[in-house]
Amino acid sequence: MCRWMAYSGNPLPLDFLLLEPQHSLIDQSLSSKMAPKPTNGDGFGIGFYGRNHEPGIYHSIQPAWNDGNLRDMTHHIESSLALAHVRRSTGTPVQQSNCHPFRYCEWLFVHNGLIREFDRLRRDMAFEIAPELFPLVKGSTDSELMFYLALTYGLRDDPSAAMERVVGLIERCARREGIDNVLQMTVGIADSETLWSFRYSTERSSRTLFYSEDMGVMKEMYPEDLRGHAFTEKSVAVVSEPVGKRPEHWLEVPESSVVTVRNGQVAIRPFEPASA
Amino acid sequence: MCRWMAYSGNPLPLDFLLLEPQHSLIDQSLSSKMAPKPTNGDGFGIGFYGRNHEPGIYHSIQPAWNDGNLRDMTHHIESSLALAHVRRSTGTPVQQSNCHPFRYCEWLFVHNGLIREFDRLRRDMAFEIAPELFPLVKGSTDSELMFYLALTYGLRDDPSAAMERVVGLIERCARREGIDNVLQMTVGIADSETLWSFRYSTERSSRTLFYSEDMGVMKEMYPEDLRGHAFTEKSVAVVSEPVGKRPEHWLEVPESSVVTVRNGQVAIRPFEPASA
Amino acid sequence: MCRWMAYSGNPLPLDFLLLEPQHSLIDQSLSSKMAPKPTNGDGFGIGFYGRNHEPGIYHSIQPAWNDGNLRDMTHHIESSLALAHVRRSTGTPVQQSNCHPFRYCEWLFVHNGLIREFDRLRRDMAFEIAPELFPLVKGSTDSELMFYLALTYGLRDDPSAAMERVVGLIERCARREGIDNVLQMTVGIADSETLWSFRYSTERSSRTLFYSEDMGVMKEMYPEDLRGHAFTEKSVAVVSEPVGKRPEHWLEVPESSVVTVRNGQVAIRPFEPASA
Amino acid sequence: MCRWMAYSGNPLPLDFLLLEPQHSLIDQSLSSKMAPKPTNGDGFGIGFYGRNHEPGIYHSIQPAWNDGNLRDMTHHIESSLALAHVRRSTGTPVQQSNCHPFRYCEWLFVHNGLIREFDRLRRDMAFEIAPELFPLVKGSTDSELMFYLALTYGLRDDPSAAMERVVGLIERCARREGIDNVLQMTVGIADSETLWSFRYSTERSSRTLFYSEDMGVMKEMYPEDLRGHAFTEKSVAVVSEPVGKRPEHWLEVPESSVVTVRNGQVAIRPFEPASA
């Protein structure tokens, strides 16, 4: 059910973040340890802020572990804020438009988890999207609809409040349809400066999510010889499951909360679905 | 803007229909003569009735001319009723869920043409689709929405009447939005026994569509040595542009009409968008 | 390191053989139990004898578990002799020309295993291939070279003897280069009537290979309701690892041997690399 | 038979070079004007020097005009020396390992043209490749063998002399086999500082190749508003066919010659196949 990783800090080549660590995100595409199933081979995507405010995206329908361009592309792109995602489809087709991150102007969005019995809620969710945003939906995933609902509900002003409204809507629709435990989500959202990371599920037993408190944890992702020239005090990572050989040094994002990272500062606040 | 071909008749291997004729549909993917642009290289698809009522589909995001499996697959599948389509995207992504034919139970649907300023009409069209059909939409094309609208409007009982309602709806929505000449379409629809072929455009100057009146025309698609063991009296083909070296022997489907082929019988009727 | 399956018997739809069993080959692409690594997601292929002596092939660079055409294609193709293969690359690119089965005229070839330090042996192997066959090599795998070497050494007359010469050559080249335990292989070869299955490794500790002695084992691959209308006394399957929920009913192909299946008859003989 | 473009000059984003000009290389993938056939839709590739001496490569089996990642990738990568190539296969498979540029250490290589009856020469050419380079051949094209032959013959010391030996070899082999007019080629070679561009054919009637003498020609590739912030005096481009709306301002590379571009200096010398 997908794995993702976000990085905020000094500019680094993407391969250093995604390929070189031990048990890296790309390794997790082949054999994740904490996901319900180990293989996340139904495509992947990388979003990164580089030359300007609008982020670049690379989407592939190949598994990340065998994509022929991944190493070269990530080696030649540096970023100070990036989101990467390896996908395990829960039923929708393997196509680039279903790969995360989704993008709207300077915003990026990744999701791990699912909406149970999504087919029964899809139309109500789609209807609620602002008409001017509706034509931008290109794929068929629950995740993409969540993103456009968040944009409809004010993501650009307050991502946390917008996501609380999105989850409130999904849970109300689910109650009406009699669907239990409708939502599992860890979500990463970024604009060009800030990273928001959400961990929530209707059943309050959410998929794992971790963050690094200090750059020491991140340095431990690497063999000795790669540690010197990398992270600064302001480097923070958020990951579905720990990267590196010291998983115990990562901090768990608390249940039902949102972590905000900006300029090296980490803030954690409770996440509460909006009632209406 | 796509090319398509339909065949109804005695069972034949699909490669005989799609690959071996001169200026075959696969040739038309590389260099069509009658389309506004010659290249139809944004994926393709084949639907065919074989072992049972539900048709098989092969969709590819490669151009038909270089797909590595096309020759082998078509050589080993025989069909008495088939629809094939080479795509030229008018803006939506190249992904299998945007490849024609679309399928619902025993029904197949292909479309050549476009809805002008589709983004402005997409939401209204989507919400007119019957709620139980809505979750089945997997791609992002105008064509797929037309198909699900037709199913909503009674395709399974009367394809012609359903398509007249679909076109009526699109043209009403377009008038409301001030969009001129909104629709260009040739459409092929099949169940396991009958083939319906529509030619229509709002401006009454529609993309080309032709049919073969007798098997002699079809035999002329082939070099001498391939003609013997092929078609019977009941074989009929419908094509976006003539196949074979005798284009003048094909009959043009009249403007604003629908051709029905069943058991070798061809019937032509006027097509008139429904007023409400 | 790949999984494969071969079937010889009464004509059956390929989906019945490849998709419907419990722990089917397609399941094994995602989570094999007996391979050194569980994921075989680097493309797959199916070869089958159908309309005529030359077999058809379907090759895909997608993982078998998410290929959008696999279900439809296999549902509409019946075969009395078929070979299917899910690939785990040992370093060579994921491309259709590296997918098994390989084909030459009426012959098919699949391989599970590897040649250790293949790069050091590749040139010697390549130049041993008969000059008239050399231009037919399209990919870059050790497996394809083994196939063309076998053809060079008389595969068309005596597949077992040819494979014994191929292995002899590889082991001689390896000795010269100082490479230990050079070869791991289970290999499936078919023409339109006979299936040969080899199990061998230089270290005499070969990858697993099993066969079904009677159709009862094959029926057990399926839930109760699917058992009735399937296999005859002449049905035999060979598999990298048992399919179905009764793995203990499959028979292990002995170390260093070749199993020949023809018209329901199974014969097992020792396999001994040729000395020169 | 392919189109290519090379750029040497001040660092520029690749999209500015490849996508924004009028009749750009990407347009030429869909509708080239000077190639024997207009469509070059059998994959493409881009090589570029960026962070360090070893160039990056992006290879795609999609047509360049519909690749979903091309715009984003090229927008975020700047280069002062780049080679791009859109492919039209002359028979070999559409796979990433057959896409140009080919790479060895800091060297890149693109080829437009073909070796006639390549299958008859392939083995002799392969045999001539230095044994330590032989295992690096990953695809099945004539072009890749030419590159590894050039490396065998001293490309790293003197690209022109090496290419003269490659062509000499091919023509000798062809004479032995009785193949007329064996070679058509325009070839681009780069290391991190210099660009070599060859135009040659056995029949001395070679595929087109052009270069820009001054940056004014390059500015004319763009609409007025994009011209200001781009090229310096040292910018030079080499193209299979002119880019921009002033094709007459480009200079033709003379028949049987090699153009060397380094630090804005252009030198042209005759190209003469080596006799042995």
pLDDT tens string, chain A, 276 residues long: the values are 699 999 999 999 999 999 999 889 988 998 888 887 889 999 999 999 987 788 999 999 999 999 999 999 999 999 999 999 999 998 899 999 999 999 999 999 999 999 999 999 999 999 999 999 999 999 999 999 999 999 999 999 999 999 999 999 999 999 999 999 999 999 999 999 999 999 999 999 999 999 997 778 888 888 877 776 678 888 999 999 998 888 888 999 999 999 999 999 999 999 999 987
pLDDT digit string (tens) for B155-202? 999 999 999 999 999 999 999 999 999 999 999 999 999 999 999 999
Mean of pLDDT over chain D: 93
On whether any CB of chain D is under 8 Å from the CB of A59, the answer is yes
B77 touches chain C (CB under 8 A): yes
Using the Cβ of D134 and the Cβ atoms of chain C, whether some distance falls under 8 Å is answered with yes
The predicted structure's pLDDT at residue D38: 87
Q: Could you tell me if C25 and C84 are in contact, meaning their C-beta atoms sit under 8 angstroms apart?
A: yes
Chain C interface test: which of B14, B60, B76, B192 (most C C-beta within 10 Å): B76
CB burial class (10 A; 0-12, 13-18, 19+) of residue C233?
exposed
Q: In angstroms, what is the C-alpha Rg of chain A?
A: 17
Three-point CA angle D137, D138, D144, nearest 5° = 55
Q: Which two tokens stand for residue C5?
A: 């399956």
Of D48, D50, D76, the CB nearest to A50: D76
Q: What single-letter DSSP state applies at residue B159?
A: H
Tokens (6 digits) for D153: 């013959």
Q: What is the DSSP letter of C270?
A: E
Count CB pairs under 8 A between chains C and D. 44
- Which chains share 3+ C-beta pairs under 8 angstroms with B? A, C, D
Quote the tokens at residue A251.
């901090």
Distance (Å, whole) CA D214 – CA D191? 22
Q: Which of D246 and D179 is assigned the larger pLDDT?
A: D179
What is the rounded distance in angstroms from the CA atom of residue B115 to the CA atom of residue B201? 10
- Judged by average pLDDT, the poorest of C60-69, C229-238, D16-25 is C229-238
User: CB under 8 Å to B155, separation ≥6 — which residues?
Assistant: B107, B162, B163, B189
Interface test with C, best of D99, D120, D136, D140 (most C CBs within 10 A): D140
Query: Which of C60-64, C199-203, D223-227 has the weakest average pLDDT?
Result: D223-227
The chains found to touch A (3+ Cβ pairs under 8 angstroms) are B, C, D
Query: Which DSSP letter does residue D201 get?
Result: E
Disruptive mutation site among B51, B72, B83, B138 for chain C (greatest number of C CBs within 10 Å): B72
Instruction: Give the C-alpha separation, B87 to B45, whole Å.
Output: 8
**DSSP per-residue letters across B192-249:** SSEEEEEEEETTS-PPP-EE-SSHHHHHTTS-GGGSTTS--TT-EEEESS--SS-GGG
According to the model, what pLDDT value does residue B31 have? 86
Q: Out of C93, C96, C122, whose CB is closest to D134? A: C122
Q: Which residues contact A84 (CB under 8 A, 6 or more apart)?
A: A4, A5, A6, A14, A17, A18, A25, A44, A45, A46, A47, A110
> C112-148, pLDDT tens digit by residue?
999 999 999 999 999 999 999 999 999 999 999 999 9
Taking the CA of residue D114 as centre, how many other CA atoms within 13 Å lie in the half-sphere pointing to its CB?
A: 16
- Could you tell me the CA-to-CA distances from A153 to A148, A193, A270, B245, C185 in Å, in that order? 9, 21, 19, 59, 58
CA distances (Å), D148 to each of A132, C151, D101, D272, in order? 54, 27, 13, 19
The strand pairing partners of B269, in sequence order, are B258
The answer to whether C48 contacts chain B (CB < 8 Å) is yes
Q: What is the pLDDT of residues B44-83, one digit of tens each?
A: 999 999 877 889 999 999 999 999 999 999 999 999 999 9
Assess whether pLDDT exceeds 80 at residue D276.
no
- With CA atoms as reference, the chain D residue closest to C91 would be D138
Q: Are residues C72 and B51, on separate chains, in Cβ contact within 8 Å?
A: no
pLDDT at D231: 81
Angle between helical axes of D142-152 and D118-128 (0-180°, round to 10):
30
Q: Could you count the other beta carbons within 10 Å of the beta carbon of residue D255?
A: 14
Nearest to B66 among D38, D65, D89 (CB): D89
CA distance linking residue A42 with residue C261, whole number of Å: 37
State the burial class of residue B163 (Cβ atoms within 10 Å of its Cβ: 0-12, 13-18, 19+). Answer: buried
Is C119 in contact with D137 (Cβ distance < 8 A)?
Answer: no
Using the beta-carbon criterion (under 8 Å), do A69 and D58 form an inter-chain contact?
yes
High-pLDDT (> 70) share of chain B, % = 99
Which amino acid is present at C227?
A: R
Q: Which residues contact C120 (CB under 8 A, 6 or more apart)?
A: C177, C179, D135
D132–C contact, CB cutoff 8 A: no
Q: Tell me, yes or no, if A132 comes closer than 8 A to chain B by beta carbon.
A: no
From residue B95, alpha-carbon distances to A45, B105, B163, D66, D75 in Å are: 16, 21, 25, 10, 23
- Asked if B176 reaches chain A (Cβ–Cβ under 8 Å), the answer is no
- The candidate with the shortest Cα–Cα distance to A3, out of A63, A76, A50, is A63
Strand partners, B262: B194, B265
Give the nearest partner residue to D39 out of B39, B42, B89, using CB atoms: B39
ipTM: 0.93
* Rounded Cα–Cα distance for residues D19 and D17 (Å): 6
Residues 24-43 of B with CB under 8 A from C: none
* Alpha-carbon distance values, B258 to B35, B84, B190, B270, C198 (Å): 20, 18, 13, 6, 59
Both structure tokens of C225: 């309701």
| Calpha distance B24→B52 (Å, rounded) | 27
Residue C230 has pLDDT above 80, yes or no: no
| Residue of D59, D60, D77 with shortest CB distance to A77 | D77
Strands B107-115, A251-252: pairing kind? unpaired
Reported for B200-205, long-range contacts at CB under 8 A and 24+ positions apart, including other chains, are B200/B167, B200/B255, B200/B256, B200/B257, B200/B271, B200/B273, B201/B113, B202/B171, B202/B174, B204/B255, B204/B256, B205/B255
